Structure 1
């Protein structure tokens, strides 16, 4: 997904000062878009000008560098299938076609990964660029390209870049995309040639947003300022292994062979803490760490997102069912990655086909990839299919560093920083040079915030830290900052023909670590955890560690043979949905302290098992229907207790009655779902919000953001709405995900638990028990929905609250309404919800709006690949007035899937346009 270059999706807005510099530029953008768009506001230019950047999809074009003709066949949704006679021609054509549809998106992406957003968008992006330069994604990508990637991968990357540049050749910026016409009125930016490193660097951005538990490290540390160990443990409960099954259920770690073996009876001897692992490192806590981590919040919030909500709330579903349980007698494989909603979608659908498989041309693959990257990331070839979900393994650690002069302390010595200068060019302004400092743990993130630097220099000496020095800083150790081979893995998976080749390919998938599921046409299914996963000395990665003590360093990485896998399990299916990978008693290493808690995975498991137990066979449409399951696990737990509350207020009682007989399904037209989710949000606010440290509080956000009636006398309803909104403005807000499901589940039957207390207000008595707090939440939810949806509950619906807006990258995220009107789309009223299989996620800290979604859905039929189905969030095109800009979104919102042609016969039948690329 292209970054939001002003305010990350689901994150707080950037500093107001950063917006001022944009006003003049945005005014000019409005003018030029009014001219170029010219559709809704009178055409100064003709519509043909708007269409000038649309791709040619019929006829023929000459492409220097091809060795033979290439056919590009597009279906009615503009999805391309490419046919070539050599690998080089195939990937060159892929680069050309993706640039036709999405070059502006690709260009923004590479400016983000290289920390050069200021070159396109001006001084408002300097702070972002400073942080991105500190991480140095493009520098690592260049090292990968120069020293790690195979010769064939480099050849494909070069061919892809050649195709992109062939498209750019001879074109003015406004011929490429509408957005460039706007930028041309505010600065002299023109697109540069594409390079192979531009493609490799995107994997680093993707890894950043899927990086694991870094946010949890910060949160837990900040909680120590106000909460004790038991309270923090309450908020990070053990993973419920007995209730929500791990991914891998057959096999154990063999201590003799030091490998994971399916069917082994050996007992793993643990070398790390399982569960939540709250041991961490107490010596690294204290006032200095607290101040550094608190300031780091602001830095992280402003970083543009790539595919996720800046490391928060990301999930995904995938599962595979063996032929013994399907109507086709061959496996069915489903996948729907949950990522930030973006326009265009983060995914690009396409097929890459050799006219004949040979050593010269090795690929016949179709699926989803990223614009700007060759190959297919998720999909199937003629023999196998695969899907991915985020594993969540812990590959990042924060270190508190003790700084002394021009160095940092380590085992009693002062070591010099590794430093480099970075010059940031700014469109319409002066360049800025920064110095990046690195310790042996990684770059100093704290250098990117002026306040953090000041605090670090003034820090008082912690008694647990060395007793000399100038202050403190925070550094980041992260596997993605070391060169790896993930790009090799993409091509190896694309041509793998069986389980052995697939596992071998997965060994190169360094970062981000993904749960990989597998199926093949010979009726085999499997799972593999890949990735470069560290082992640690002291500490378990759940809390920041002292950088000055070598005992807390990483000691190595888990070997490929030791990583959990499963092949043809006896139960006949495998489910991955961000739950624990393996039972803590069957594996010696701590993979993470922060799994997803398994609400989605267990629901999928139950749906599959109930079908099997009933003697039924699973179809492609059954898989689709499972993807759309809207059942709320937390509602099943809480609604029976909420209905027992004796409500006196007739208006609140009227709302409470909505829950009677409700089946816990969060359909878009459900009033009960709207009221329950509002009640759940208020329970979280009352029980936990006012007890969390101020550093975790959401500034300036209120539950009741819609205006109440301000005419005439203030009635009781308005007073309640206003008071609750004011009370919420400076409280912490839990996000409401499945960790909070588990937190509440643990204490829900303890009616006098301390968490069930809430202070009195002008309108409310204090709550001292669970039922008193629940009564308050039912009442507050009633007035919140009155403010948002009106007093008449017959007009309420979940979809009116739970809406999806698709915002075009960069120019559509902020600014005058006219720009948003032209570039953005929506809203769509959606079913589903947080920690639901149909995971249209909302964050209780910010409202009910949809912030992450099933970014695509697919069901692969290994019995007949042409009967597979797929859908994308938006469409194939990144051009705002193309017919394929959002032509799949309505179907996606309804849960429909499109036919997915694969064989040449099926592709020919579905083809609407054919373009021949000639040498």
Structure 2
């Protein structure tokens, strides 16, 4: 008995010692939010005050000290995120996660982002202010690598820290550029529809083939160019960091606000991940102030405001990426056809290092149009090489200067000049200031094809289809202080450019229409009104689409429960509240409708098409049609299917599915049962670590294409797990500039041991806000003060 007691005491002591050891270890990994830290190369001491939500307010005597300090504090909260971001475009995720990331790495390493970064860096002005500040920021990041705590993720995967370079910074910018491009997800799908089914089917998807369009000769064969789109979708699904999606923004002129000052709103839509994408900071020097939102490893904010002006962005969705079918020389596969004869492919030799495996090497062919994607997407079942021509790699990259200029402008004219230097990705840049100006600039290097070719299809590489006329920025869509007293963007189609409706992959009109309706309804907006508006969950189009779908339906052919479901849909105002039943019925009906309409003709391509912007834009028109080539089910012998058949079948299947999924009581089919949000961390893929690293899940209101745009993959499961949405909600009121408001989806820090890792998550779900404080007296009352001093 005494022996057992001794063993028990020993075990208790051992457990206590281990617990103390774990506590000491984890505490050593926390960010330092107070105290004193030595930082090399500072000219004078810098004071950093952390507010109640972990935002650093950096007070320095000059910008070089401020940016060096920003780099340090940014790294101590987000070093793991920085590590992932720099590796994506460089094709280095396999070094962390092994062979499962090889497909991603091959694809991204083929895009030319790294090669473009190297060219850009060679031509940088080393004496310019943007360059000096960027290097100071990198110095701060690298000093944290040397002196600061190693993030827990590095221990878990056995990763050694390595210093960051300008090339890493430009790789992050390149990844942002490609994640905004949409053509790679859509053009292969539309090309397959054209080649397999013909122009009539394509026209009803909103893509017209006219007599001036250069077409590639048809041939009966089994081709699946959409494999490219499906693989790209898979790549984005597997990325451990957020791709960019869409966004809302509007800026209201003083004539429409109660206090007679500009009100600015912006909520960029980005795929959810943990940590959240934006890192907030407030920098103050004697000559400069900016409350900004930075991407990982970027020195200058893409979103920001101060007492003089505010700016933000949405995705333009212009078509800045084109695909071409090249034609190999039948006698030499290292050559391809051009209008001037055969030319040699340029060959790049690429190597990818793989954790716990041997390095993988491959040759990448590059034509005059760009890299051959067949060399990196092995699943493409087509002998024709497909080249990718991307505006981002075709022009000088000025994004470092652009972000510096946007965050340092002293006038609207100067800000517009900064916006004019963006070549890719295409961005809607939104602006408002204390001088009562509002503005919108659709920025990007726009072009039009001289031969009127259809850029939404894969083009003929052995032709003059690639002849383009690049437009001057004066021809880009833009508006400054318009007579209607507001500017806005919701990734929707802009008005004509250079006499044409500029081609792109724009979102449907739903959000844009709702924003305009709400803005037109009032002339006395307050900050509180705009905060409510940015959380709006009412669809402007789905009630109309329901009416179009069921306008000629004979209710007597349906069961009682099916009739009740139709009644609920017809009475629906489009609201996506947690307790609403209609969204659950509608989204299941929508899936069945799309499947019954398109699956038989498209085959597996349908599942790629299902979640493209083209599908979202097409659906409203399809529901309104009475006649369509798509209605017929080609798997049946009699070609007699009509819209009525499709609608009836889809509704019946939807109700049967919901009764099986959620029970027979349709009153219990509430949206909160099927619509949830979770912010995934790469370590959360390990089930035992999921609850520790991931944030959520939460039941959440909102839905696709409402202002509170919480998007999900439409699929057969009947559950709508939100995968993207507002990456922040910001409202800046120039009548009360020190008390502007924002919210993060999770929190400011990416360190799971920080108090600010997920402290905003529930507030975000609730639609609440926290202050973006500019008041020096309040800021300096913080209990968390970090003083950075130089050892020099």
The TM-score with structure 1 as length reference comes to 0.78
What's the counterpart of residue 3 of structure 2?
none
1:193 aligns with 2:66: no
What's the counterpart of residue 337 of structure 2?
409
Which of the residues 232, 257, 267 maps onto 1:300? 232
Q: CA deviation at 1:648?
A: 3.7
Q: CA deviation at 1:554?
A: 4.1
**Paired residue secondary structure (1:122):** helix
1:504 aligns with 2:504: no
Once residues 542 and 869 of structure 1 are traced to their aligned partners in structure 2, the CA distance between those partners, rounded to angstroms, is 40
- CA pair 599-294 structure 1, distance change in 2 beyond 3 A: closer
Which of the residues 556, 564, 567 maps onto 2:480? 567
What's the counterpart of residue 338 of structure 1?
269
Q: CA deviation at 1:277?
A: 7.4
What's the counterpart of residue 605 of structure 2?
696
Once residues 790 and 875 of structure 1 are traced to their aligned partners in structure 2, the CA distance between those partners, rounded to angstroms, is 37
Say whether the 8 Å CA contact 1:688–1:734 is kept in structure 2.
no
1:166 aligns with 2:143: yes
Which of the residues 454, 460, 473 maps onto 2:385? 473
Q: CA deviation at 1:622?
A: 1.0
Which of the residues 364, 367, 381 maps onto 2:306? 381
Which of the residues 594, 597, 601 maps onto 1:684? 594
- CA pair 897-98 structure 1, distance change in 2 beyond 3 A: same
1:778 aligns with 2:651: yes
1:831 aligns with 2:756: no
Once residues 64 and 76 of structure 1 are traced to their aligned partners in structure 2, the CA distance between those partners, rounded to angstroms, is 28
Once residues 476 and 564 of structure 1 are traced to their aligned partners in structure 2, the CA distance between those partners, rounded to angstroms, is 26
Q: Deviations over 1:297-352 (max 9, x none)?
A: 354234347799868xx321000100111012111010111111111111111112
What's the counterpart of residue 233 of structure 1?
203
Once residues 432 and 410 of structure 2 are traced to their aligned partners in structure 1, the CA distance between those partners, rounded to angstroms, is 10
Q: CA deviation at 1:161?
A: 1.0
Q: CA deviation at 1:367?
A: 2.6
Say whether the 8 Å CA contact 2:80–2:151 is kept in structure 1.
yes
Say whether the 8 Å CA contact 1:330–1:862 is kept in structure 2.
yes
Once residues 288 and 310 of structure 1 are traced to their aligned partners in structure 2, the CA distance between those partners, rounded to angstroms, is 37
Say whether the 8 Å CA contact 1:580–1:596 is kept in structure 2.
yes
Once residues 107 and 617 of structure 2 are traced to their aligned partners in structure 1, the CA distance between those partners, rounded to angstroms, is 35
1:557 aligns with 2:466: no
Q: Deviations over 1:854-895 (max 9, x none)?
A: 111001112221121111111111122322111111111111
Once residues 218 and 80 of structure 2 are traced to their aligned partners in structure 1, the CA distance between those partners, rounded to angstroms, is 46
Once residues 332 and 649 of structure 1 are traced to their aligned partners in structure 2, the CA distance between those partners, rounded to angstroms, is 51
- CA pair 277-860 structure 1, distance change in 2 beyond 3 A: farther
What's the counterpart of residue 860 of structure 1?
732
- CA pair 397-686 structure 1, distance change in 2 beyond 3 A: same
**Paired residue secondary structure (1:526):** strand
Once residues 280 and 340 of structure 1 are traced to their aligned partners in structure 2, the CA distance between those partners, rounded to angstroms, is 39
Once residues 605 and 141 of structure 2 are traced to their aligned partners in structure 1, the CA distance between those partners, rounded to angstroms, is 44
- CA pair 741-178 structure 1, distance change in 2 beyond 3 A: closer
Q: Deviations over 1:333-380 (max 9, x none)?
A: 1011111111111111111221x00xxxxx311131112111111121
What's the counterpart of residue 349 of structure 2?
421
- CA pair 904-152 structure 1, distance change in 2 beyond 3 A: same
Q: CA deviation at 1:120?
A: 1.9
What's the counterpart of residue 12 of structure 1?
none
Once residues 119 and 365 of structure 2 are traced to their aligned partners in structure 1, the CA distance between those partners, rounded to angstroms, is 19
Q: CA deviation at 1:428?
A: 2.2
- CA pair 819-307 structure 1, distance change in 2 beyond 3 A: closer
What's the counterpart of residue 320 of structure 2?
395
What's the counterpart of residue 65 of structure 2?
89
Q: Deviations over 1:377-425 (max 9, x none)?
A: 1121331111211111111110111122222211142212222222222
Q: Deviations over 1:824-882 (max 9, x none)?
A: 12211121111111111123246522121111100111222112111111111112232
What's the counterpart of residue 157 of structure 2?
183
Once residues 702 and 408 of structure 2 are traced to their aligned partners in structure 1, the CA distance between those partners, rounded to angstroms, is 36
Say whether the 8 Å CA contact 1:281–1:543 is kept in structure 2.
no
- What are the within-5 Å matches in structure 2 for residues 203-602 of structure 1? 203-236=173-206, 282-284=214-216, 286=218, 291=223, 293-304=225-236, 314-354=245-285, 356-357=286-287, 363-404=288-329, 405=332, 406-450=334-378, 452=380, 459=383, 472-482=384-394, 483-538=396-451, 539-549=453-463, 551-582=464-495, 584=496, 587-589=498-500, 591-602=502-513
Once residues 38 and 516 of structure 2 are traced to their aligned partners in structure 1, the CA distance between those partners, rounded to angstroms, is 52
Q: CA RMSD in A?
A: 2.8
What's the counterpart of residue 610 of structure 2?
734
Once residues 630 and 767 of structure 1 are traced to their aligned partners in structure 2, the CA distance between those partners, rounded to angstroms, is 39
1:611 aligns with 2:522: yes
Q: CA deviation at 1:445?
A: 1.2
**Paired residue secondary structure (2:704):** coil
- What are the within-5 Å matches in structure 2 for residues 695-774 of structure 1? 695-698=604-607, 734-735=610-611, 740=615, 743-748=618-623, 750-757=625-632, 768-774=641-647
What's the counterpart of residue 689 of structure 2?
819
Q: CA deviation at 1:901?
A: 0.6
What's the counterpart of residue 56 of structure 1?
32
Once residues 871 and 389 of structure 1 are traced to their aligned partners in structure 2, the CA distance between those partners, rounded to angstroms, is 17
Q: CA deviation at 1:755?
A: 3.7
Say whether the 8 Å CA contact 1:280–1:544 is kept in structure 2.
no
Q: CA deviation at 1:84?
A: 1.2
What's the counterpart of residue 116 of structure 1?
92
Say whether the 8 Å CA contact 1:221–1:285 is kept in structure 2.
no
- What are the within-5 Å matches in structure 2 for residues 19-168 of structure 1? 43=19, 45-148=21-124, 151-168=128-145
Say whether the 8 Å CA contact 2:729–2:743 is kept in structure 1.
yes
Q: Deviations over 1:593-638 (max 9, x none)?
A: 43323221111001010123xxxx0011111111122112343114
Moved more, 634-643 or 315-324: 634-643
Count, aligned residues:
762
**Paired residue secondary structure (1:296):** helix
Q: Deviations over 1:514-565 (max 9, x none)?
A: 011111101011111221223433324221112122x122435222233232
Q: CA deviation at 1:492?
A: 0.4
- CA pair 477-802 structure 1, distance change in 2 beyond 3 A: same
Which of the residues 840, 865, 876 maps onto 2:710? 840
Moved more, 875-884 or 91-100: 875-884
**Paired residue secondary structure (2:342):** strand
Which runs of 5 or more residues in structure 2 are unaligned? 1-13
Which runs of 5 or more residues in structure 1 are unaligned? 1-37, 238-275, 358-362, 460-471, 699-731
Moved more, 153-162 or 136-145: 136-145
- CA pair 742-542 structure 1, distance change in 2 beyond 3 A: closer
- What are the within-5 Å matches in structure 2 for residues 792-807 of structure 1? 792-807=665-680
Q: CA deviation at 1:485?
A: 0.2
**Paired residue secondary structure (1:218):** helix
Once residues 622 and 867 of structure 1 are traced to their aligned partners in structure 2, the CA distance between those partners, rounded to angstroms, is 15
What's the counterpart of residue 709 of structure 1?
none
Once residues 226 and 489 of structure 1 are traced to their aligned partners in structure 2, the CA distance between those partners, rounded to angstroms, is 44
1:666 aligns with 2:541: no
Which of the residues 601, 610, 632 maps onto 2:539? 632
Q: CA deviation at 1:589?
A: 4.9
What's the counterpart of residue 789 of structure 1?
662
Say whether the 8 Å CA contact 1:112–1:132 is kept in structure 2.
yes
Once residues 285 and 70 of structure 1 are traced to their aligned partners in structure 2, the CA distance between those partners, rounded to angstroms, is 67
- CA pair 289-350 structure 1, distance change in 2 beyond 3 A: farther
What's the counterpart of residue 756 of structure 2?
884
Q: Deviations over 1:23-79 (max 9, x none)?
A: xxxxxxxxxxxxxxx99xx95952332232211110110001111111111111111
**Paired residue secondary structure (1:501):** helix
- CA pair 787-573 structure 1, distance change in 2 beyond 3 A: same
1:621 aligns with 2:528: yes
Say whether the 8 Å CA contact 1:209–1:307 is kept in structure 2.
no
- CA pair 657-767 structure 1, distance change in 2 beyond 3 A: farther
